[in-house]
Structure 1
């Protein structure tokens, strides 16, 4: 959501006037809301909110559980009712349960056109990938230039395997994916690896149709400088983390490092959703007493937590096609100015960004020797200076303003 929000924030100053069509929050169902981000919508930008039809209220009644986070990150042990709900979601709601919004969005656009309004382009961003079917319908109906922004893979997204899809459902979902990729004028992805994956879905698609626009950071979010703590060596993780992130080897190496250096107050902090599996991994490593868990906080508070630490911890899920997973928080981590430890696959796009910006180190999930060596380096550096410096120059190309300028070029081509 922040990706679209920040584009909308900067587009008017770059000569593009956006009209935003989204869901009425009174009718939508989401696991978390952050009203503080509404302040980023510039005065004069029109935001039209529509009704929707979504099955999540029924899901809550059926399972007595909260609405699932992306990838079911807030669901630990899966009950029978949850398994049934996942099967229904994966086979009856294609591409996803948010498709019930599409007819409302299309009617809103039709009303604008009927009132005589004209538009030069339409941009749809997903997931939920059902939103891309709105762009497909508008392309067929009005012929507008269409930019399809896919922040994640579609049929290859990592949690698809949990949906128990039938062959028919897999075929239909893949058909939707191909139709979107063929009809869109521009396909935007957040990483080069995801772009290559999507391009392989339809043989013969021109490479020039695909553009990489990574996520970024908004400089205005980081105007207030926060100091790193002087009384502890604090590693902070911001966001959602589940058992799929395969960070238990790092936890074990961190516990061993703490045992080797009892004089160093080594601490962990998680800000956001931490799955029960991860809490159990922390306990097994003996880190519970050294760990602080902070529930979901608004974005502006999350930015403060990113700065009030010694080192930032980043995880890439240990799933198929994960080399192209490039979370938006990578760039906010860069803006926070703290070294980053990334646990993920070798050669990932996230690792390349960190290396390019000289902002940290990336380790494969089981590379314990390299983790151990780097933790020793951190302890030594922290003992000399509690604030470990990171170069600032390399990250500037990832500012939201700079990336929105590139979006404007794609719109105007």
Structure 2
């Protein structure tokens, strides 16, 4: 059986979407005659913890660990809240940042390149060089962010005769928050140099979206494959829907993910229809930024708002399956059109109508159309968005609100692992 070493920062008990991609690949790789070994930090600083994901780790998997120096531990002495916020990817708009936030961002962007996990690179390369040689491993996979892990792959590639696949769950220099890091000219140049070196040194690049694939094709001639995130076919479906007209969003709502057009439309609907006002529940599960909460309350939706906070992956699946409508929201910018949130596919598996709001030419729009699983709207659409929500509400009142999705099987975790296995065996 072919051995493959997977180098990842996020692993159970880490919570959130970053951990699930490779946890699920590891879960199914043995079905394709590939034995995965996993290398993770021994003492990571995970902003979100979900111990329920530990149950998904296959029995007998070799998991290698090595200590990592986490500068976020030191930063917490100054402000635990600000450190956790930035490490979670929630960055406020410049005009609303206080002095401490600006300082943290400047230090993060200019002194920790490509990111705060850079101190794990050298000790990992040294340790893994010996381990790979002794254990006859001929293929490694690095997955980022954090993109420091790709530099571990780069270091191993320079030392060993080894096949290297670099998996980009998100872009590097084109991701939305990159411009908010207050980078100096030299820091920006270093990011671009390291990105280019990784893209031209890896044997195979994997992206989760077609827009990121196109972006990288301008930077390297190496083969680039798209393997999206997906859903686990073992999900159990609930048949009982919420009694209320629930619009649920699962996951972080960052400051930039603030669909004012949606809040405005909902405000109009609750003011025009008392029954709608009584039935509507806006259920935001996970971290919600202060900017988003402020906007919601300014549109008189505070009485319809529920904030359960972070919940386990199992609980999130249950909420998805029982909600009337599932909200998918992405930042409205050119840089985010290639971001396909992992929850899209679990939304699809829940077989509930998806209401998506995001940037122009968003990759998600094509997937929704292909699978007939939901409807996309831009940030500046109001009239058509209002009509659509009214239509959904009328179906809900008749107890007929459903979705007839098609062609979703290709996005099951098992089938996607089959696509990965083909690359590994080439």
Settle same-fold status: TM greater than 0.5: yes
Q: Structure 2: any 5+ residue segments left out of the alignment?
A: 1-18
Q: Aligned equivalents of 2:255 and 2:80: distance in 1?
A: 23
Which residue number in structure 1 is paired with residue 244 of structure 2? 232
Q: Structure 1: any 5+ residue segments left out of the alignment?
A: none
Indicate if the aligned counterparts of 1:311 and 1:341 stay in contact, CA closer than 8 A.
yes
Choose which of 256, 261, 267 in structure 2 pairs with 1:255. 267
Q: What is the CA-CA distance between 1:143 and the residue it aligns to?
A: 2.0
Which residue number in structure 2 is paired with residue 312 of structure 1? 326
Q: Map 1:363-374 onto structure 2 (within 5 A).
A: 363-374=377-388
Q: Aligned equivalents of 2:297 and 2:286: distance in 1?
A: 18
Q: What is the CA-CA distance between 1:246 and the residue it aligns to?
A: 3.2
Moved more, 27-36 or 349-358: 27-36
Q: What is the CA-CA distance between 1:74 and the residue it aligns to?
A: 7.0
Which residue number in structure 2 is paired with residue 246 of structure 1? 258
Q: Aligned equivalents of 2:88 and 2:216: distance in 1?
A: 20
Q: Aligned equivalents of 2:113 and 2:132: distance in 1?
A: 28
Which residue number in structure 1 is paired with residue 419 of structure 2? 406
Distance 1:69 1:9, change over 3 A: farther
Which residue number in structure 2 is paired with residue 266 of structure 1? 280
Choose which of 382, 398, 410 in structure 2 pairs with 1:397. 410
Which residue number in structure 2 is paired with residue 325 of structure 1? 339
Which residue number in structure 2 is paired with residue 28 of structure 1? 44
Structure 2 residue 368 is the aligned partner of structure 1 residue 349: no
Q: Aligned equivalents of 1:165 and 1:48: distance in 2?
A: 34
Indicate if the aligned counterparts of 2:320 and 2:347 stay in contact, CA closer than 8 A.
yes
Q: Map 1:26-175 onto structure 2 (within 5 A).
A: 27-65=43-81, 66-69=83-86, 72-73=89-90, 77-113=96-132, 116-175=134-193
Choose which of 352, 361, 366 in structure 1 pairs with 2:375. 361
Moved more, 56-65 or 130-139: 56-65
Q: Aligned equivalents of 1:56 and 1:292: distance in 2?
A: 31
Structure 2 residue 306 is the aligned partner of structure 1 residue 292: yes
Which residue number in structure 2 is paired with residue 6 of structure 1? 24
Indicate if the aligned counterparts of 1:74 and 1:275 stay in contact, CA closer than 8 A.
no
Q: What is the CA-CA distance between 1:362 and the residue it aligns to?
A: 0.4
Q: What is the CA-CA distance between 1:321 and the residue it aligns to?
A: 1.8
Distance 1:218 1:94, change over 3 A: same
Structure 2 residue 35 is the aligned partner of structure 1 residue 17: yes
Q: What is the CA-CA distance between 1:305 and the residue it aligns to?
A: 1.0
Choose which of 206, 209, 218 in structure 2 pairs with 1:200. 218
Which residue number in structure 2 is paired with residue 181 of structure 1? 199
How many residue pairs get aligned? The number is 403
Q: What is the CA-CA distance between 1:107 and the residue it aligns to?
A: 3.1
Q: Deviations over 1:356-392 (max 9, x none)?
A: 111110000010011011011112111111x522224
Q: What is the CA-CA distance between 1:75 and the residue it aligns to?
A: 6.0
Secondary structure of the corresponding residue to residue 166 of structure 2: strand
Secondary structure of the corresponding residue to residue 407 of structure 2: helix
Secondary structure of the corresponding residue to residue 172 of structure 1: helix
Q: Deviations over 1:137-194 (max 9, x none)?
A: 1111112111100111111111112211111111111000000110111100001101
Q: What is the CA-CA distance between 1:252 and the residue it aligns to?
A: 1.1
Moved more, 69-78 or 266-275: 69-78
Q: Aligned equivalents of 2:163 and 2:244: distance in 1?
A: 53
RMSD over aligned Cα, in angstroms?
A: 1.6
Q: Aligned equivalents of 2:405 and 2:387: distance in 1?
A: 25
Secondary structure of the corresponding residue to residue 143 of structure 1: coil
Which residue number in structure 1 is paired with residue 10 of structure 2? none
Q: Please report the TM-score for the alignment, with normalisation by the length of structure 2.
A: 0.91
Secondary structure of the corresponding residue to residue 256 of structure 2: helix
Q: Aligned equivalents of 2:263 and 2:132: distance in 1?
A: 56
